[in-house]
Amino acid sequence: MKLYASIYIGSYEIILKVFQITQKKRLKELDCLRTPIDTAQDIYASGQLKKETVDRICNVLEDMKRTLALYRLTEDYQIYAGSTFTAAGNRLFAMEQIKLRTGMKVLALSNSEHRFMSYRAVASQDNFDAMVSESAAIVDIGGASLQITLFYHGKVRTTQHIGLGTVIMSENMKRLSYMTNHKEQIAQMMYKELDAFVTMHMQDVKLKYLIILGDHVSTLMERAVDDATREPIRMEHYMELLENMRDKTLQSIIREFDVLNDHEELIEPFLMLHHAIAEKLPAKYVYVPGVSVNDGMAYHYFAPKHYLQVEHDFDQDIISAAWSIAKRYGSYQPHLKALDKISTQIFDATKKFHGLDKRQRLLMRLVAILHDCGKYISISDASDCSYIIIMSSEILGLSHKEREMVATVVSLNRKSLESYDSMADRFSVDEYMTIVKLLAILKVANALDRSHRQKFKNIKMAVRGNRLHITIEATDSIALEKGMFEEKADFFESVFSIRPILRELRVFE
C-alpha cells in the first residue's frame, strides 16, 4: 500500500492531504486538514510575511505532524509553498525559520510550477482528455492573477497570464471605493483585459468547455455547482447560479453555501471575475473539478514511480505549446521539424557522452522548436528577441528555470558562449552544463539544415570510438552545410570529447 501526504501553503490556507494508491492504481484522498492563514493579506499589504503568519505556519505544521505520524509517513510527504508565499520578500528567512523550528523542508513553487500543479490535478481527471480533444479553456484563478490555457483539438494553443485576481480586485475596490462608480470601472478594466485575450487567441475558436480552477474561495463555486458526480454543467445553468448569487446579500451567500466567512471581502470580486470570464469565454459547458494543488502534488509525486494508471501526456502539452508559439511567430516549420528530428537523433545517439535525462531531452526539443522565433521581430537581433519571446510565453508544465534555460540556449545560438562566471547569478553549474550541452547539439543540428531546405534524407547516427558518424543521403549539393559544419563540430567536440563527422551518401535520382 502506497501513501503520500502533500502539504500546501496557499494564499489563504494550509492544506494537508493524505493520499493512498488504490488497487486499481487510482489516487484516493484519505484525510484532509485545512486551516486558514493570511499569506495573501500579508503579501498584498507589505510584500512580506508577518511574524505572526510565520509563527502560525510553524504551529500548524507542527500539529500536522500528528497526522503524518498517524499514517506513519516519515519520508513520503512534501511541503510546497504556493506562489503567493514565494512572492514574499522574506521568503527565504521564513523557510529557514520553518526548517529550524519544525524540522520540515518547504519547497517554494514559482508561479509556473504552482499553476502546473493545479493543472496536473485537473488533467489527471478521467474526462479531461476527452474535453480538450475538442476545445477547452482552463482558467486558474488566483489571488493576484489568473492564467488561461487554451486547448484546441487536443493541443495547447496558448497559456496566458492576466493580472486579474480576487485579492488584487478586492484591494482595488477598497482603494477606489471613494468613487461612486468604482465597481463599474473595475469591471470595465476586467473586461478589457479579457477582451485582449479573446481577440489575440480565440478568433477562430468555438469553446466547448470552460474548466475553472482556483484556491480557497472556489469552494463556493464547488458548493454552488453541487453535484456529486462532478460532471460539467451547461453554461446557462452556470450563469444562472452566478446570477442567483449576485442577487443575494453577502450574508445569505455565506449561509447558503456554507462558506466560512474568513474571506468574505473576496466574495464580491470573486463573483465579478467569474461572471466576466463566463461571459468572455462563452463555452457550452462549465466544469469545476474541485481539485487542488495538493492533488497535483500527489500526481507529480507518484507519476514517475509508475504507481498510477497512465495519465495525461504532459510532455505533449509542452511540445504543442512550443509549436503554437513557433507558428505564432511565423517560424519556417519544415526547418523546425527537421531540426527537432536531427537534434533528438544526436541527443539519443550521444546519451553516454552527455548524460542528460528524459526531461532534458524535452528541453532539447523545445530549443529546436523555438530557436528561430525571434526572427519575427528582427532578423539581425533574432537571438535576443527569441530570448524575450520565450521568457514572456507561459508554457504550462515547464518551470520558470527550465524556460529560462531554453531561452538562454536559443539566445546563445548565434553568439559565443559566455563563461559560467557571467551566468552564475542565474544558473547553477549543473544547469549551466545542461545549457552548454543543449547548445552544442543545437549548433550541430542547425548546421545540418543550414539552407533550411531539408536536403538530407535518411540521416543515420552512430558513435564509433570518439567520433559521431552522421551519415546522410543528400539529393542536392550540401556545400553550405559542410562549410558551416566544422566550426560547430569543434564546439561540440570541446564539450563532449567526441567529434561529429559528416559522411555523405550522394543519391542520384
Partner 1 sequence: MSKAEEFKNPKYYDNRELSWIKFEHRVLNEAKDKEIPILDRLKFVSITSSNLDEFFMVRVASLKDMEHAGYTKKDIAGMDPTEQLCAIGKEVHALVEKQYNTYNRSLMPILRKEGIRIIGAYEELNEKQATYVDKYFMEHVYPVLTPMAVDASRPFPLVRNKSLNIAALIKSKHPNSKLQQGSKQELEFATVQVPSVLPRLVPIPGEDDRYTFTLLEQIIEKNMAQLFLNYDLVCAYPYRIMRNADLSFDEDEASDLLKEIQKQLVKRQWGEVIRLEIEHKADKRLLQVLKEQLAVSGKDVYEIAGPLDLTFLMKMYGLSGCDDLREKLFVPQKNPRILPGESIFDEIKKGDIFLTHPYETFDPVVDFIKQAAVDPDVLAIKQTLYRVSGNSPIIAALAKAAENGKQVTVLVELKARFDEENNIVWAQKLEKAGCHVIYGLVGLKTHCKIALVVRREEDAITRYVHLGTGNYNDSTAKLYTDCGIFTCNENYGEDATAVFNMLSGYSEPARWNKLVVAPIWLRDRFIALIDREIAHAKEGKEAYIVAKMNSLCDRQIIEKLYEASSVGVEIYLVIRGICCLRTGIPGVSEHIHVTSIVGTFLEHSRIFYFYNNGQEDIYMGSADWMPRNLDRRVEIVFPVEDDVIKDRIKHILDVLLRDNLKAYAMLSDGTYAKMSRRGKQAIGAQMTFCREAMEGAKEETTVWKGRRFIPIWAFDEEEHEA
Q: Which residues bind to partner 1, rule: CB under 8 A?
A: 1, 3, 13, 20, 22-23, 30-36, 63, 66, 69-72, 219, 222-223, 226, 258, 260, 290
**For residue 424, what is its C-alpha cell?**
552564475
Q: Which residues contact 83 (CB under 8 A, 6 or more apart)?
A: 109, 110, 111, 113, 114, 115, 142
Instruction: Name which of 223 and 452 has its Cβ closer to partner 1.
Output: 223
Instruction: Name which of 24 and 192 has its Cβ closer to partner 1.
Output: 24
Instruction: Name which of 33 and 474 has its Cβ closer to partner 1.
Output: 33
Least distance between partner 1 and beta carbon 219 (Å): 6
Q: Which residues contact 401 (CB under 8 A, 6 or more apart)?
A: 110, 431
Least distance between partner 1 and beta carbon 57 (Å): 14
Least distance between partner 1 and beta carbon 2 (Å): 10
Instruction: Name which of 70 and 196 has its Cβ closer to partner 1.
Output: 70
Instruction: Name which of 193 and 222 has its Cβ closer to partner 1.
Output: 222
Least distance between partner 1 and beta carbon 47 (Å): 27
* C-alpha to C-alpha distance for 7 and 12, rounded to whole angstroms: 13
Least distance between partner 1 and beta carbon 70 (Å): 5
Instruction: Name which of 122 and 132 has its Cβ closer to partner 1.
Output: 122
Least distance between partner 1 and beta carbon 29 (Å): 8
Amino acid at residue number 110: S
**For residue 14, what is its C-alpha cell?**
494550509
* C-alpha to C-alpha distance for 373 and 23, rounded to whole angstroms: 47
| Contact by Cβ (8 Å): 180, 129 | no
| Contact by Cβ (8 Å): 470, 500 | yes
What are the DSSP calls for 173-213, one per residue? Answer: HHHHTTSTTHHHHHHHHHHHHHHHHHHHH-TT----EEEEE
Alpha helices in 248-393 (DSSP H): 250-256, 267-280, 293-302, 314-328, 333-349, 351-354, 358-370, 382-392
Least distance between partner 1 and beta carbon 63 (Å): 8
Instruction: Name which of 20 and 110 has its Cβ closer to partner 1.
Output: 20
User: By CB neighbour count within 10 A (0-12 exposed, 13-18 middle, 19+ buried), where does 185 fall?
Assistant: middle
Least distance between partner 1 and beta carbon 164 (Å): 24
Least distance between partner 1 and beta carbon 488 (Å): 56
Instruction: Name which of 12 and 485 has its Cβ closer to partner 1.
Output: 12
Instruction: Name which of 223 and 401 has its Cβ closer to partner 1.
Output: 223
Residues present in the chain in total = 509
Which residue, 276, 289, 185, is CA-closest to 239? Answer: 276
